[in-house]
Amino acid sequence: MTNGGSNATGGSSVTGGTMAIGGFVATGGTTASGGTTAAGGATGGATANGGTAGNTATRGTAGGAGIVAIGGKSGGNTATGGNSATGGSKTTGGSTATGGTSGSGGTSGGTTTGGTSGAVGDAASFHCVNWADPGDNFQAGVLQPSGLSSSSDTYSTVLAKANAILSGFQTALSANSIRIPINEPTVTNTAWWTAYKGIIDAAISKNMKVIVAYWYKPGVGTVPDMNAFYAMWQAVVDAYGSNNLVYFDVINEPSGYSPTAFINLVVAWMAKFPGVPHNRILVAGNYNDTDVNTQGADSRLAGCILNIHIYAIGSTDTNPANWTTKLKNAVGPYANRTVVSEYGAPMTSGYDYSGAVNGTAFIAYMQAVTSQIRTSGMGSCYWPGLRNGDWYSITTLKGTGSNLSLSVNSTSGLALIKSAWGM
């Protein structure tokens, strides 16, 4: 999901005032008035209804009518976490495995930790948020999730910052998982990759699952250099392939590939890394992760987790039933294998997501999508848990250095995110 620029005014104020959640301040959001729109040009990706490759969608506008777009966004999208207890996973028999400890780069003892057993993985266990780069995850250079700096942060600094931010995700949001970006420069820059691993190691130490997702550089829609792509993934798999808390999202929003071409690429990736269990591999839906039926039906992807995005950017659809149908059709019979790894809406514009739709498409969308995620038992990753400057961000980063905390931008928005996780 790209940065939407300034917050749009319009919509109702979030109810609830302020409240403290485990030491993190949750604010009720700002009251907006009027119907001013915030434009946010999107870069680097293509989405539209159905996800036509090469197109660029805007970040969405909000006004009195709450304009929203169906199924697409520009630049990068949002994910939200699924349903599961931290440290547990679904087994083939349907029981939950708990306990076990996991170390950095290691495997958990006894029962699986973080959930990797079972023919279709543990998709429903993801109560997840995206942690994204302020400049968007489609970058030609290294990626720096909000709060981090490649120019000054060492491994110990990243570890300390990540511990603070992840504690905020756990305490303020009740998240048990994160989705973070990689690209070739982030991993091939040895000094930054060494430091960047502090994010993953901090999450592992907290028994949080981590989805590591690849973003190509802006405007290409495909992997620009397959040799560099595989070298990047080899470094990641070497570091975390044996750790059951780490999952691999082969390509985020493969907009430049046909469904068949992308599936063939994933099959080749799996052949390249045969030691990675299928139930720790996430396979994107068609184009901009808009539909997973083709992927779900392909026997070569049996056991893989499927990965779908749904947004309301540019849409004026205020009928929740239409959003429910859209998500149900995009997932088909594969809900038990699917994580909605990106979805989101404005959280700093004053919308009351607990109230009546009142002609606001964002409210209709959020209420319907979160309800359908919960009803169908899918996992989800909200976009974003943290991204500086993004009006979809459910939190705002506070503090300096490694003395960091999070404040919640919308209590009504958070309530829906948590409802998707069955909370």
pLDDT one digit per residue (tens) for the chain, 423 residues: 544 433 333 333 333 333 333 333 333 333 333 333 333 333 333 333 333 333 333 333 333 333 333 333 333 333 333 333 333 333 333 333 333 333 333 333 333 333 333 334 589 999 999 999 999 999 999 999 999 999 999 999 999 999 999 999 999 999 999 999 999 999 999 999 999 999 999 999 999 999 999 999 998 999 999 999 999 999 999 999 999 999 999 999 999 999 999 999 999 999 999 999 999 999 999 999 999 999 999 999 999 999 999 999 999 999 999 999 999 999 999 999 999 999 999 999 999 999 999 999 999 999 999 999 999 999 999 999 999 999 999 999 999 999 999 999 999 999 999 999 999
Written as one letter, the residue type at 65 is A
- Rounded to an integer, what distance in angstroms lies between the CA atom of residue 89 and that of residue 114? 6
Phi-psi region at 175: left, alpha or beta (left = phi > 0; alpha = psi -120 to 50): beta
User: Is 221 a member of any domain?
Assistant: yes
Assigned token pair, 264: 């063939």
Whether residue 291 is contained in a domain is answered as yes
Distance of CA 83 to the CA centre of its chain: 14
Pair 181, 145: CB distance under 8 Å: yes
Assess contact for 383 and 392: CB atoms under 8 A: yes
**CATH number, domain containing residue 244:** 3.20.20.80
Residue 117 is assigned to a structural domain of this protein: yes
Residue 8 lies inside a defined structural domain of this protein: no
- What is the 8-class DSSP label of residue 8? P
- Residue position matching structure tokens 């303020």: 172
Does residue 2 belong to any structural domain of this protein? no
**Residue 53 is part of which domain span?**
19-32+43-420
Question: Which of helix, strand or coil describes residue 335?
Answer: helix
Q: Residue 37 domain-assigned?
A: no
Strand partners, 305: 282
4 within some domain: no
Looking at the 3D structure of the chain, how many domains does it have?
A: 1
Domain membership flag for residue 337: yes
